[in-house]
Chains A and B, each alone.
Chain A
Amino acid sequence: MNRADRPEKIRCDACPVMCYIAEGKIGACDRYANHDGDLVRLDALTVIENTTQKLVPFLKEGGVEDWDGDIVQGARPFVTAVGAGTTYPDYKPAPFIVSQDVEGVDMVTVVTEGIFSYCGVKVKIDTDRHIGHERDVVYVDGEPIGHVMTSEYGSKMLSLGGVEHLTGGSKKEGRVTCDALLKLCNRQAVEMVVGDAEHATTLVVEAGKAPIINGEEERLMRVGCGSASIGMFAKQWLGHADEVVVVDDHITGVLSEHQAGKLLDIPPTGIKIKGRRSTPGRYFQVAAPGTGWGGTDIDDPLTILGPFNPKIAWEGLRMLMVSTTGEQFAYYELDAALQPQMAQMPAALKRSTDIIAENCEPSVCSVLFMGGAGGSLRAGVTENPVRLTRSVKESLTHVSCGGAEAYGWPGGGVTVMLDVMDMPTESFGYVPTPALVAPIEFSMRLRDYELLGGYMEEVQPVDQVGLDAARRVSGEAMGHDPMARANYRWDKGKSE
């Protein structure tokens, strides 16, 4: 749309107030603004109490381009939302902070909505279908936003975003990457293409939902690899089939050769599996990866078989072939020429394929936000940033994102990872840098804050004034702290 075509005011539909917002202005909430005719969310950024940083609008002309991604600029004022420096009421420069403890402030929560240009998401997609090779590039709108990392048990892993895509590539690459991350983190669906022309796979990822691979919604994740399936179900097949092949892109299992079959005295069948034998009854690479049976590219399982050995096989030999999710299965009997012929499957075998399917959990996409709090962000909390890192490592300081518990990576820095499904919806925003805006809170006891070099001179006067009636020490000496966190904690499900 041309600039001239744009209406002078846009109507915000984020909440029932439905503000009309003129170009360059913000709505009543201070969260949404009209930026060049687009409704954008401006999440307020502030390091609450006890910093000397000033609050400045971050969409000020020219104020964004030269910004290096750190939330707190050493020499520059702190970056925050447009407007009068408002944020959530408890941490905005609010004139009042109600102390929960009877005597003065006992708990410090340093809250900030951090701008993370060093951030990304790790996506776990529960499927055995082929979505791409390790290192294949993941594209959105033709722009590279990440790559395929690896396969975990029953799932594929993607690494999306990261500073290389956000700010290390072209402008469009950064914008598209930021947009895709924002949607994924806010639990919206993103369509992506994995790999290049000849083996491209289209993939729709939405946190908490099943993946859609090449237009088909995945249903189940496998119960185990082909070999593991043999081990789990061998007994149920005993007496109903002479041979069972569990087709799997990773490890195809063959009952008669497998240790489980040996233990049940199942005789050899003369079966010949294409592919590379690993250990008895376990085969790698029986076919190419794909979206067919068990994550292979085949739709006809017989293509992975060579001719049966006439010295061993016999007419009437009963063979079940099944995929690792139990979704595909076929039953054959060998004819006089030892060729498998499809036949009516006995009920007992059907039951076993149903059990395989039942044991497969629903396939979902998990989106884990991962970001690092840089030295400067930590400097908003303490004069000596590394002490915050240590305090986090020693579990004296609790790091949360939007109230959700975050996993802190070991090693240096404060690098956290958490499931976006644990966070309130619409927790994330963005800045045009481009970078994601995510909430991050550091909570600790006041004395721990002191130990880590917090800005105590800023809280000191409050303590002093409340001293006569209100010394924290006296409260603790009484041995009772009604506000102790241990007293009360909602479980995740209830706290939304």
Chain B
Amino acid sequence: MIGPQAALLADGTRLHLHHGPIDLIIGADQDRIRAFEAAREGFETLLQGLVDQLPLLRSARTVDASLAETETAHRMISVTAPYASAGFVTPMAAVAGSVAETVLAAMLADSTPARAYVNNGGDIAVHLEPGESFTLGVASHDNHPLGTLRLNAETPIRGIATSGRHGRSLSLGIADSVTVLAGTAAQADVAATLIANAVNLPGHPAVTRRAAEDIQPDSDLGRRPVVTACAPLNAADRACALDAGLACARAFAQRGLIHAAALFLQGDARLLNPAPFTLPEKSLVDA
């Protein structure tokens, strides 16, 4: 069995932590040595802690967050709880964002970077001291830039997550990607998953689906039909699917669960609370 691994990336300023299915890319401005050391320490037992509670975390029934034995599991359960009424969801929907947050919290407990981030495959927890900001590039699954977004310390956004058909997780919807900005990475993670699921055209012949467990035997989605392909859609279908997702996002925002979202499907986009986003003219024209 291969244990947790840590390595500086070639540019010397970013730390790569890896264990099993988890890959984190971590950055910190100032106090970097202590921040990276703390990240490594916090990461050491993280995966094992999750694995020890996997049956609980893969369960769709409402679980009490006090059953969580680790900080990460606690986050996963807490942030998914508000969505219990929104359909099928398990704490696993927030695993990536929760892991990112746990490691960031470990860093901040031991160091004082002006800015820091933990990027868990696109689910990102960020830290900003007053006056600081991050500029992030948003790219599509095939690496075409979709624009940028800017996070200022003055806004309450500290978590970014993206979900969709092209990521590593399976999606019940057809969105190419849904990017959500929320107070925490775990909150953004679960919301992005659910909004991406909502960008959907049930029964549409262009969409191919397959039982999740046929693709990933251990998936918490069981036999639920996940999208494996989506043929080109006409403008009306794209609008219909995106609007369904946007309605879902808006409902979450009204409940104070998220701050903003960007939904992308075959060249079209929808923005909820567009302030942080800057999309290039081109993609808006295409839309």
Contact present for B12 and A25 (CB under 8 Å): no
B22-30, B66-74, B251-259: which lies at the interface: B22-30
Q: Which of B9, B27, B122 has the most CB of A within 10 A?
A: B9
Contact present for A426 and B11 (CB under 8 Å): no
- CB neighbours (8 Å) of A473 from chain B are none
Q: Which of A93, A458, A495 has the most CB of B within 10 A?
A: A93
With CB as the reference atom, state the residue of chain B lying closest to A86. B168
Contact present for A465 and B2 (CB under 8 Å): no
- CB neighbours (8 Å) of A97 from chain B are 136-137, 139
- CB neighbours (8 Å) of A458 from chain B are 143-145
The answer to whether the Cβ of B282 comes within 8 Å of any Cβ in the partner chain is yes
Contact present for B121 and A15 (CB under 8 Å): no
> Which residues of chain B from 111 to 136 have a CB within 8 Å of any chain A CB?
117, 119-122, 124, 126, 133-136
Contact present for A464 and B135 (CB under 8 Å): no
Interchain nearest-CB distance for A407 vs B (Å): 15
From B30, B137, B278, give the contact of A105 (CB < 8 A). Answer: B137
Interchain nearest-CB distance for A494 vs B (Å): 9
Contact present for A100 and B14 (CB under 8 Å): yes
> Which residues of chain B from 40 to 67 have a CB within 8 Å of any chain A CB?
47-48, 51, 54
In this complex, the interface size class of chain A, counting residues with CB under 8 Å from chain B, is 35 or more
A16-24, A59-67, A194-202: which lies at the interface: A16-24
- CB neighbours (8 Å) of B144 from chain A are 458
From B13, B19, B21, give the contact of A488 (CB < 8 A). Answer: B13
B76-84, B159-167, B201-209, B233-241: which lies at the interface: B159-167
From B1, B24, B134, B162, give the contact of A95 (CB < 8 A). Answer: B162
From B1, B10, B27, B33, give the contact of A400 (CB < 8 A). Answer: B10
Contact present for B168 and A20 (CB under 8 Å): no
Q: Indicate whether A441 sits within 8 Å of B280 (C-beta atoms), given known contacts A16-B20, A99-B136.
A: no
With CB as the reference atom, state the residue of chain A lying closest to B40. A496
With CB as the reference atom, state the residue of chain B lying closest to A464. B280
With CB as the reference atom, state the residue of chain B lying closest to A485. B12
Contact present for B51 and A17 (CB under 8 Å): yes
Contact present for B117 and A465 (CB under 8 Å): no
Contact present for B142 and A107 (CB under 8 Å): no
The answer to whether the Cβ of B109 comes within 8 Å of any Cβ in the partner chain is no
The answer to whether the Cβ of B273 comes within 8 Å of any Cβ in the partner chain is no
Contact present for A426 and B218 (CB under 8 Å): no
Interchain nearest-CB distance for A396 vs B (Å): 14
Contact present for A96 and B160 (CB under 8 Å): yes
Contact present for A13 and B1 (CB under 8 Å): yes
Contact present for A30 and B21 (CB under 8 Å): yes
Contact present for B8 and A90 (CB under 8 Å): no
- CB neighbours (8 Å) of A83 from chain B are 168
Q: How many angstroms from the CA of A15 to the CA of B20 in the assembled complex?
A: 5
What string of 1s and 0s marks CB contacts (under 8 Å) between B27-41 and chain A? Answer: 101101100000000
Contact present for A95 and B140 (CB under 8 Å): yes
With CB as the reference atom, state the residue of chain B lying closest to A97. B137
With CB as the reference atom, state the residue of chain B lying closest to A34. B217
The answer to whether the Cβ of A398 comes within 8 Å of any Cβ in the partner chain is yes
The answer to whether the Cβ of B224 comes within 8 Å of any Cβ in the partner chain is no
Q: Indicate whether A94 sits within 8 Å of B280 (C-beta atoms), given known contacts A16-B20, A17-B51.
A: no
Q: How many angstroms from the CA of A93 to the CA of B24 in the assembled complex?
A: 15
- CB neighbours (8 Å) of B247 from chain A are none
With CB as the reference atom, state the residue of chain A lying closest to B262. A95
Contact present for B121 and A89 (CB under 8 Å): yes
From B20, B27, B134, B138, give the contact of A29 (CB < 8 A). Answer: B20
From A17, A19, A96, A424, give the contact of B7 (CB < 8 A). Answer: A424
- CB neighbours (8 Å) of A441 from chain B are 9-10
Contact present for A95 and B139 (CB under 8 Å): yes
> Which residues of chain A from 100 to 131 have a CB within 8 Å of any chain B CB?
100, 102-105, 107, 109, 111
Q: List 24 A-B contacts (CB under 8 A).
A: A9-B217, A15-B2, A16-B48, A16-B51, A18-B51, A28-B21, A49-B143, A83-B168, A86-B168, A89-B119, A90-B23, A95-B164, A96-B138, A102-B133, A104-B137, A105-B137, A403-B16, A424-B5, A465-B145, A466-B278, A482-B29, A485-B11, A490-B8, A496-B6
Closest 6 CB pairs of A and B: A15-B20, A89-B121, A29-B21, A95-B162, A90-B25, A400-B10
A sample of 11 more A-B contacts (CB under 8 A), given A84-B167, A95-B122, A466-B148, is: A17-B20, A84-B166, A89-B122, A90-B23, A95-B138, A98-B117, A102-B135, A104-B137, A441-B9, A443-B10, A496-B6
User: Which residues of B does A touch, CB under 8 Å?
Assistant: 1-2, 5-14, 16, 18-21, 23-25, 27, 29-30, 32-33, 47-48, 51, 54, 117, 119-122, 124, 126, 133-148, 150, 160, 162, 164, 166-168, 177, 179, 215-218, 278-280, 282
